[in-house]
Structure 1
Amino acid sequence: MTKKDKIVLFTQVGLVAALLLIPGVIGFSLKYDIKAACNSTFRTLTAIYPFFIVYFTNFYVLCPKLLERKRYGLFLVANIGVIALANVQIFFTDFSNVDEKYRWGIWIGIAFFFVFNLCIAALATGIRSIMRINEMKKKLKEEQQKNTEAELSWLKNQLNPHFLFNTLNNISGLIQINPDAAQDSIAKLSDLLRYTLYESNRKYVSVREEIEFMQNYIDLMKLRCGPNTTVETSFHVQDTSMQMVPLLFVSLIENAFKHGVSSNKPSFVRIRMSNKGRELIFTCQNSNYPKDDKNRSGSGIGIENMKRRLELLYKDSYNFKQTLEKEIYQIQIYITCPS
């Protein structure tokens, strides 16, 4: 028996005890007679014990054994049987002590008792059903939480190799162009990997930590860009101690450099972050040079994973906007930082 079940049982027993003691207390207070109080309590017990039999039998036996197993017909028959057995003593006692010409009144009383017992059975069934529904909701919520955590873990596990693969590609290309810069970028990569391996395991990190990570990542991406590419960053957040999900915008930055930078055309990448109170605003804007219709800004597994993480972690506390006008692609994300 769980702690919750014990509380329910003790509450029910307490109510029964209170109902039995009230008549005795009243009888004693009126006559100051212990015998009268005991008689009042006994009469009350005799009158109402069938109701408690019906209630507790339904609550602890019929509902879990029959109703919750969808054996509705047997549940109804069993209830009628329990009501009949619980009231059989009252029926025979009252019926035998009443003159034959007044026994029609007993039949009316029996009908009343039967209906009242049905109400008691319905009450027990209702309370038991509400408790079961609440228990099922709790289990469902726990299961959904487990599924959410498992999916987030899967998304994060996809993000880290994806990030590492793209960064190593950048360094590989940079080694041929500028070996000294490649050496510096390896040191920065070490810091970035340390962040992704350790800090990203936390549910939230400070905005300050995330900005530092993004700036290092952008610097690493810039090393591969030619002179025809302009990269602008602006991080103006008043309270950088606010908490946010780690590595949330990495996919957007990677997407901007992947699709926004051309080797022979003027290109730009603009990344900004600001805040209004506890609302964080991230804007990423880039020129758009897709290789084909399937390879354009806003496509790819990284963006889809980021959207899914937003849905799971921020639920109704975020807003995602993306626009593509002529050759300019822009994404804006509004998230409410937890207090």
Structure 2
Amino acid sequence: MSPFYYCLLIIGIIAAILLIGYLYWKTRNLKRQNELLIRQSREISSVAFPDESIDYKLDPHLLKNALNAIQSHAYQSYHALDKLSNVLDYILYETDGKFVKLKDEIAFAQNLIEINKLKISPLFDLHIRKKISPEAGELFIVPFMTINPIENAFKHADVQNENSFISVVFEVMDDQFILIVSNRIQPKQFTTSNLGGLGNKTFAQRLKKIYGSDYHLNTEQKEGIYTVTVKIKLYKND
């Protein structure tokens, strides 16, 4: 090989080495710049949009919904305790005598219903109707005459059936208090003996002992619906 070509070969090798070195340096430099840009971009995002990040982790609407749920349960508990307190007051202080005012007995029954509502779904079909004038509310009745039919309705209602219901009607006609309680019962309870049992018998005996012939009690079971109708004579405070 001539000295001229030898020199060209040496120059070519040196140029190639320099080019490779330059490309390597350039590549490293670009890589560092890219990493720096990515890091800066992340820092900018975290600084520029802090609320977005926080909202995603602690959504105020979710917290508000949770608070509403807690308040709802707290209100239900307070509401139930308030009704239970009213029931206890009635038992302890309002029933010392032989008779109570009808309006007080009805209030007691309504408190009892509110407490029993805790056992069923808020969507359960519960009808309460009261047709009692203020004057009739001042008439007198023996206390606790409303307990048995209402408690049995909540005890035996078929709450799993979408067509299930409980209906309670308070009414006064002339001098008679009328209580009608109806509910759809479970198929396995389609025998009257299972509905109330000893409680119904005791209730009937109590009515007869206190009111003699001044009452009427009727139970009916038809097409899966059990109905109790009680009619009791009311007295004036003479």
Q: Is 1:332 matched up with 2:229? A: yes
Q: Normalized per residue, which structure has more strand?
A: 2
CA contact (8 A) 1:290 1:297 kept: no
The one of 211, 223, 235 aligned to 2:130: 235
Q: Is 1:273 matched up with 2:170? A: yes
- Residue 128 of structure 2 aligns to which amino acid in structure 1? T
How far the C-alpha of 1:216 sits from its partner, in A, is 1.3
Whole-Å Cα distance in 2 between the matches of residues 210 and 242 of structure 1? 11
Q: Is 1:255 matched up with 2:152? A: yes
Q: Which residue of 1 aligns with 2:84?
A: 189
Q: Is 1:224 matched up with 2:119? A: yes
Identity of paired residues, percent? 27
Compared CA separation, residues 264 and 179, structure 1 to 2 (3 A) = farther
CA RMSD of aligned residues (A): 2.3
How far the C-alpha of 1:311 sits from its partner, in A, is 0.6
- The gaps in structure 1 that reach 5 residues or longer are 1-176
Q: Which residue of 2 aligns with 1:300?
A: 197
Deviations 1:208-254 (A, max 9, x none): 10111111111121232114521111111221111001111111100
Q: TM-score if structure 2 supplies the norm length?
A: 0.62
Q: Per the alignment, in what secondary structure is the counterpart of residue 195 of structure 1?
A: helix
Q: Which residue of 1 aligns with 2:186?
A: 289
Q: Is 1:204 matched up with 2:93? A: no
Q: Normalized per residue, which structure has more helix?
A: 1
Q: Which residue of 2 aligns with 1:62?
A: none
How far the C-alpha of 1:326 sits from its partner, in A, is 1.3
CA contact (8 A) 2:192 2:221 kept: no
Q: TM-score if structure 1 supplies the norm length?
A: 0.44
Whole-Å Cα distance in 2 between the matches of residues 293 and 323 of structure 1? 11
Whole-Å Cα distance in 2 between the matches of residues 247 and 334 of structure 1? 14
User: Number of residues paired by the alignment?
Assistant: 163
How far the C-alpha of 1:190 sits from its partner, in A, is 1.4
- The gaps in structure 2 that reach 5 residues or longer are 1-71
Q: Max radius of gyration: which structure?
A: 2
Q: Is 1:311 matched up with 2:208? A: yes
Deviations 1:146-190 (A, max 9, x none): xxxxxxxxxxxxxxxxxxxxxxxxxxxxxxx94541232122111
- Residue 273 of structure 1 aligns to which amino acid in structure 2? F
Whole-Å Cα distance in 2 between the matches of residues 228 and 266 of structure 1? 11
- Residue 214 of structure 2 aligns to which amino acid in structure 1? S
The residue correspondences of 1:75-86 to structure 2 (distance < 5 A) are none
Whole-Å Cα distance in 1 between the matches of residues 210 and 79 of structure 2? 35
Higher relative CO (Cα under 8 Å, sequence separation at least 6) belongs to 2
How far the C-alpha of 1:197 sits from its partner, in A, is 2.2
Deviations 1:298-333 (A, max 9, x none): 323332221111011100101111110011111111
Whole-Å Cα distance in 2 between the matches of residues 194 and 290 of structure 1? 38
